[in-house]
Amino acid sequence: MTRFLHTGDWQLGMTRHFFSEGVQERFAQSRFDAIRKLGSIAKEEDCRFMVVCGDVFESNLIDRKTVFRALEALKDVLIPVYLLPGNHDPLNAASVYRSSTFLERKPPHVHVIEDMIPIKVDEGIEIVGVPWSSKRPLQDLVAMAITPLESVVDTVRVCVAHGMVDSISPNPDDPAAISLHAAEMAISQNKIHYLALGDRHSLTQVGNTGRIWYAGSPEQTDYNEVKSGFAIVVDLDREKVATREVNVGAWRFIERKRVDMNTKEDIESLKRWLEEIDDKERTVVKLRLVGTLSLLFHDQLEELFVYISEILGALETRTEELVVIPEDADFADFGFSGFASRTVVRLRSNAQDAGPHGIKARDALTLLVRLAGKAQ
Amino acid sequence: MKILCVRLRNYRGIEEAEVHFGPVGLTVVEGPNEAGKTSLTESVKILFEYLDSSKHRNVEAIKPVDRDVSTEIELQAESGPYTFTYLKRFHKKPETTLKVVKPKPENHTGREAHERAEAILRETIDVDLWRALNMQQGEELRQANLEKQTSLSAALDRAAGGHSTDPREESLFELIREEYAHYYTERGNEKKELQVAQRAEENALNEVASLQQQFKNLEDDIDRVALLQNDLDRFAKQEREIESEISGYQKSLDEIQKLEAALETARLKLDSERKSEDAARLEKKSRQDLVDRVNKARKEHANLEAAVASSGPAVQNAEEGLGKAEESADSAEKCRKDAETLLTLRRADFDYFNNKLHLEQLGERKERIDRAREEAAVAEDLLTSNQVDEKRLKKIQKAERALIIARAQQEAGSPSLLLRALTDLTLQIDGEQASIGKNEEKPLSVPDRVRVTIPETLDIEVTAGARAVDLSQRFEEAQEALTSACTVAGVRADPDEARNAFEERQEALRHIKNRDQTERDNLRDLTYEQLERKVIGLGKSIPVYPGERVSTPPLCFDLESAQEELRKAEKSLYEAGREWEIARDTLNSAREVRDRLRESSRETRIQLDLKAADLKQGEEELSRARARIPDDELKEKLDKSTKEVRFQEGSFRDAENALKIKGPEKVKTLMETAKGSLQTVQKKRKNAQTGLTEVQTRLKVLGEDGLHEQLHAAESRLEHVRRESAALVRRASAARLLFETMKDERDKARRAYVAPLREKIEQLGRLLFNDTFEVEVSEDLVITSRTLGGATVSFDSLSGGTREQLSLIARLACAMIVGKDGGGAPLILDDALGYTDPERLKLMGAVLAKAGQACQIIILTCMPDRYRNVGEAAVVRMA
């Protein structure tokens, strides 16, 4: 029985536009920390080696600093690590794996899979890698790699690949989609015994053999990921396979696609929900607000967002469907009867406009309410 | 507020003073300089403003010099619903008391009293307006700053019928203005922050675009590496293929080179044989040419000899032809001359008859003229004696008519005498013998006097009366007039004679006129003398012609036959002329033929001599050549050479065919092409290699620059900047909209409330100026111009006095408006109107009196005379 750690899609160097500079750095650091955590898991679990199934780097054109930090983190992983070039970091002319920075500092136990020739990892253990050499392959590279293989009798063979399996691919016409049938056939023919996949950021089993898995990204990168932040500890021999997910990630992306916002209670409720989030500084929240608010409540909501966005990793709000309408209550304490009062009447009339003029008028009214409070 | 009484103790130089003011209307406080008038107003201010314990320099300043005493200020006043007495003691034993009487009694002391008094003041009057309206010494020319006077605004608003202005609205507006000013300049231009944001966005956008381009360039480079590597492999393969082709072509070219050498040898031999053949042919031809030349000369010589022989008779024939032609020409010339002579004669004949006819005509014309002239001469004589022209005739006829009239009148008007003879008797009437038969009656008219005498019997003289005499005289005068007219005309006193003479004269005139016409008709273009000379000339020449003329041919008998003969002679001459010309042409031709033949004969002889010499030379040359090489030998030599050339031509064609089969041009072209292609491919490969190196180097250098992170960072920056910029713009737009909307509303309100103030100013001003007085008041309540009698002058251009008066009127107008409203305060004027002349002072007095009806006005002055015309006023004197 051979035990190894299956991971992928580290996406080192990834940035997110909604992060402020400081948070971006925190987010980047977490990904390097994840490498070390994977290293310690591998050690704890007594894994023989680690396979990283593509997209180790976010791009081939990343900063040297990112490569340095990645290799520095990899030094702390004490078992052989096999890195597979994926669609983000293909083995092309600009490949990060061929850069002097990488080559000069690469620790000896770190290997880059550069072709499809089986690599002997240890006695009775082989890896067949399927590296990407361009961003847009025009055929099923996995099928190309495993079809010509001979069946093995005394070796356990792990195929390390990257890309979407046709059965779950959103684009069934993709010529590069990995044929599940071909893979399962190769497994049944003892050509390979496990297909370690990368590309999908959520931990996913494919097919029924129990031998084809996506490990997912060790750190969540987006809202739509179902189960990211994991790696898989694989126990494998020719007869059986056992997989076990291990939690690695620290970041969470939460999206609420509809938050009704009409009353003070709605604001309070949202406030409570936000305050109850654990580990806020590694949580990214996206809210789509729907409803109608008075100037006063809108002001309060804005205040809440100002406060909470300072605490969260990031807060994204979509307010296209949130309408701010000046209400009588907004001017209840206004107390003016002269030209100020006539100004309010005029602006409120303009605020009825559904277009940009209306927004401008509502903004002006909000400002008026704020300054009126100050004046009084 | 109305000040009722101010009491001061130990205030500056004042030990004790108490001044009572009228609750409404005017109070004039008189006093010399330093009497403490200004202290009155100052003390009220200090009373409200400072705590009794204050050490403020303003408080210290009111302490009497050199006296360590407490200063007291006590004020009795009404303000709104309140009536109160407010006392403060400063410096020593400070104390504050406030005693409110109305609306309900209140007593306060210390700080509480101070605060309560302040509260009452603030509650009931607009302190700022109070300060703005009061005129201090030296401020006369300045208008009060009323822009932010909320109570005035409120009053004006109410006067204008609008809502009352909340004083906080101005504060709010100020806050909004500040917010607006945060983003925009006064002119509405964007301030630095907005511009910076915009620039930052542009910069971020440019940065992203630049990085995206770099990114794309790198991506392109990556693709290019693969393509270039492909190219390199392809070019290397192509190079190998072309090199193999070149080697094959080289082998063929070597063979071709050998064949080309053989061909060249054959060509040289052929050329040599051809040259030999050409030489033999040339020699043979030269001999043949010589033979031909000799033969030809011989033949030509014979021809020339024959020609010389035949030319003699031809010349002779020509000479004979010429002689005949000369004869014909002479004969023709004679005929022509005869015809000419005849024509001359016939022409003379014709002229003779023609002249004869002409002479007759001329004679007749002359005769007509002579006749007319004679008649005219007779007429001219008559005209000399006959003077009765139209004018004289008319005069005579006029006198005749007058006479007839006179006669008729005389006969009608003069007495008459009827003689009736009783027997035959003879008697004398006026001396003339008359006889009357028996029973015969004879009437007599008595124009003047009639004397009837019966001889020896009776003498009767009848005399007409005065009228009859007159008529008779007129008749005589008429008769005299007629006689006179006739005499002038040269006729007897008979009008009929005169008429006959007139007719004769007319006839004579017609003759004279006829002469002129006859002369013109018959002389035509001649003078009478010329005509006469012609008649004489022709008359002399014609009769002698027949005698002088040759006898034959005979003279024709008339003009027509002469004319006919003339025509015939002319025709004969024309025909003779033609004959003569033909004969002359024939003669010339014959002469030319003869001359030409003569010349030709001479030339032929010369040619014959020349040809004989030529023939001789040719024959000698041919003999010499044949002696050298005979003609047969030359022919043999040429045949041999021709044969050799044919042989060499065969050899050359064989060599040529052998080469042609190898296709040398094609092989060479293919070789050249292949070499060119090889160079092209090598060049391409080199370029591809260079390109690959360049791209790889670039990738190596730029690929590790972290473009990915840079681009993402730039994109994040752009998004942040955009968000911030959008938020900023949104805030600025909101501020702008709010400011502009509120300013617009505020301006509208202001425009409305300016009206009552202007109205009030004009009402007061018309007392001072006249009914045409108008002012323009700006929205910040300042007089900007004055109009008087239609002339508008800006405030600043007005005289000092007028400006002072208008400033005061504006203050009074405000005070009246606010005072009427209940929120007023006393208007204190400290020695105002220093610039105003006495006449205007009087009028200003009326203005002040009018204003005093609506509010409390306190005038402090050291010149009481200035205000003597203010009407009813309380007067307080301060020593």
Q: What's the confidence (pLDDT) of residue B159?
A: 56
Q: Is the pLDDT of residue A93 over 70?
A: yes
Q: Average the pLDDT over each of A67-81, A118-132, A150-164, B166-180 and give the range with the smallest value.
A: B166-180
Instruction: List the 13-52 stretch of A: residues with Cβ below 8 A of B.
Output: 13, 15-17, 19-20, 24
The partner residues of B79 in beta bridges, in order of sequence, read B82
Position A304 confidence tier, pLDDT thresholds 50, 70, 90:
very high
Q: Average the pLDDT over each of A258-262, A371-375, B64-68 and give the range with the smallest value.
A: A371-375
Q: Average the pLDDT over each of A166-180, A302-316, B282-296, B863-877 and give the range with the smallest value.
A: B863-877
- Look at strands B791-794 and B783-788 and give their pairing: antiparallel
**Residues in chain B with pLDDT values less than 70:** 126-167, 414, 447, 465-466, 753, 818-824, 879
Give buried/exposed letters for B371-397 (b at 16+ CB in 10 A, else e). ebeebbeebeebbeebebeeebbebbb
**Residues of B whose CB is below 8 A from A67:** 704
Rounded CA separation B15/B7 (Å): 10
Instruction: List the 165-194 stretch of B: residues with Cβ below 8 A of A.
Output: 165-166, 168-169, 171-173, 175-176, 179
**Residues of A whose CB is below 8 A from B707:** 61
Among A62, A343, A363, the residue with its CB nearest the CB of B733 is A363
Q: What's the confidence (pLDDT) of residue B100?
A: 93
Q: Looking at the complex, report in whole angstroms how far the Cα of residue B249 sits from the nearest Cα belonging to chain A.
A: 41
Burial zone of A12 (CB within 10 Å; 0-12 exposed, 13-18 middle, 19+ buried)? buried
- Give percent of chain A above pLDDT 70: 98
Alpha helices in A140-235 (DSSP H): 141-146, 180-188
DSSP, res B144: P
Kindly state whether A364 is in contact with chain B, defined as any CB-CB distance less than 8 angstroms: yes
Closest-CA residue of chain A to B716:
A17
Q: What's the confidence (pLDDT) of residue B442?
A: 82
Name the nearest CA neighbour of A62 among B712, B209, B707: B707
Kindly state whether B798 is in contact with chain A, defined as any CB-CB distance less than 8 angstroms: no
Q: What's the token pair of residue B794?
A: 């800006």
Mutation choice for B interface testing from A339, A363, A367 by most B CBs within 10 A: A339
Instruction: List the 90-109 stretch of A: residues with Cβ below 8 A of B.
Output: 92-94, 96, 99-101
Q: What's the confidence (pLDDT) of residue A97?
A: 94
Burial zone of A153 (CB within 10 Å; 0-12 exposed, 13-18 middle, 19+ buried)? exposed
Residue A251, C-beta contacts closer than 8 angstroms, at least 6 positions apart: A27, A30, A219, A220, A229, A282, A283, A284, A313
Instruction: Give whichever of A48-62, A318-332, B453-467 has the largest mean pLDDT.
Output: A48-62
Mean pLDDT of A151-173: 91
The verdict on a CB contact (< 8 Å) between A336 and B169 is yes
Give B867 or A273, the one with higher predicted confidence: A273
CA distances from B256 to B19, B245, B247, B658 (A): 147, 17, 15, 9
Q: Are the C-beta atoms of A58 and A12 separated by less than 8 Å?
A: yes
Q: What's the confidence (pLDDT) of residue B389?
A: 86
Q: Are the C-beta atoms of B549 and B348 separated by less than 8 Å?
A: yes
Name the nearest CA neighbour of A239 among A145, A156, A148: A156
What Rg, from alpha-carbon coordinates, does chain B have?
Answer: 82
Phi, psi values for residue B27, rounded to 5°: -125, 120
What digits encode the pLDDT tens for the residues B229-275? 999 999 999 999 999 999 989 998 998 999 999 899 989 999 998 99
Name the nearest CA neighbour of B778 among B147, B106, B129, B284: B147
Mean pLDDT of chain A: 91
Q: What's the confidence (pLDDT) of residue B98?
A: 93
What digits encode the pLDDT tens for the residues B752-783? 767 878 888 888 889 888 889 999 888 777 88
Q: What's the confidence (pLDDT) of residue A276?
A: 93
Q: What's the confidence (pLDDT) of residue B435?
A: 85
